[in-house]
Structure 1
Amino acid sequence: MKLKPAHVTIAVLGAILLLALGVIGGRFLAGNPEPGDASADAGFARDMQRHHAQAVEMSMLVLNRTETEPVRALAYDIALTQQQQIGQMFAWLQDWGLPQTGSGTPMQWMPDHQMGADQMSMPGMATEEDLQQLRQAEGTEAERLYLDMMIDHHRGGVQMAQAALDTATTAQVRDLADKLIESQSSEIDAMNTLLQAL
């Protein structure tokens, strides 16, 4: 029996619909619906964007204040990598249909964390006074300040990433969290070595 063009179109549309329903249904049956506004996945994506943004700011500041190549190379790598990851997390929230800013306080998603009203409640965040010191420093002083601040910053980032690895439900968040723990732990070791050499 030869199918008419209209029948082919209906059959193709039906197959596409069944495939779409199967994918959506499979996600829900597997327990992986898109994260909600109050989820650990969304909280991590929002808060880690702000956390990363400060690391980028500090790295750009030291790039203008030192000629020491290993410090410059590290700062450039941190700025480039974390800016790319900011874009990645921004896109996740868009894909999930969620606003970039949540209705709760920062770090609300992280178990046992002392919540505050602003981003300063995030582990490892530098204060405005710390940043001002870095802006005013030059040469070796700027390098030492940057490395000390970034070691604390990375330790806080590792803490946040571990909490996301433990509580997030989406594979992309857990994958990034795992990579952050590995890369930032390695960079902490490298920064401690650089500090000893200064």
Structure 2
Amino acid sequence: MTLGLSLPGLAQAHPHGWIDLRMRLMFDDEGRLEALYQSWRMDPFYSLVVLEELGQAEGEGGLEAGLDRLGVEIRDNLAPQGYFTELRLDGEVVALGEVNEYTVMERGGRVEFVFLLPLAEPLVLGGETLRYQVFDPSYYIEVVHEDDDGTPRDDALVVSGRECTTGILPADPDPERVMEASMLDVTDEAEPGLGRYFAETGEVTCG
């Protein structure tokens, strides 16, 4: 899964690129969770390749039009894979809707994909802990929350519309999974779901 344009392999082990994630949980006026507002910043190398390719296609409307086309491509590629997002409440998967609001921009020399992922139905939270993971099932691309020196930034996980406590748990893959990932080269495909074991977990508890 390469999101949009081709992503050349940088090394002979997974992952071959990464995404810096910011997550905002959106609650409605009744205090129900209704959507996940996500921002994905692509790694510098992928961004450089994409921006150079789009810059060379000026006859097709320039960079802005190219980014718009890339947004459609990314959205369409992610849709069959649940937008790389898994949401659980009390261990049960929460159904998600379809992304219709999204944009792609260039910010600080990096490509950023911003989108609103609605829930299939608004979700009532009454003290339970909601957990999510955002990951590429193949682990070709690693997804990590925005951080400063290895510590998640304050704006990496925020809540709008309710008072909640939040936390981001680091990934803790067992040695067997680490070995499995390290043995994959650029031509290999991982077993479906490998990325789950390397994903951080966001936790949100609303009293």
TM-score normalised by length of structure 2: 0.27
Larger RCO (CA under 8 A, 6+ residues apart): 2
Larger gyration radius, structure 1 or structure 2? 1
Which has the larger share of helix? 1
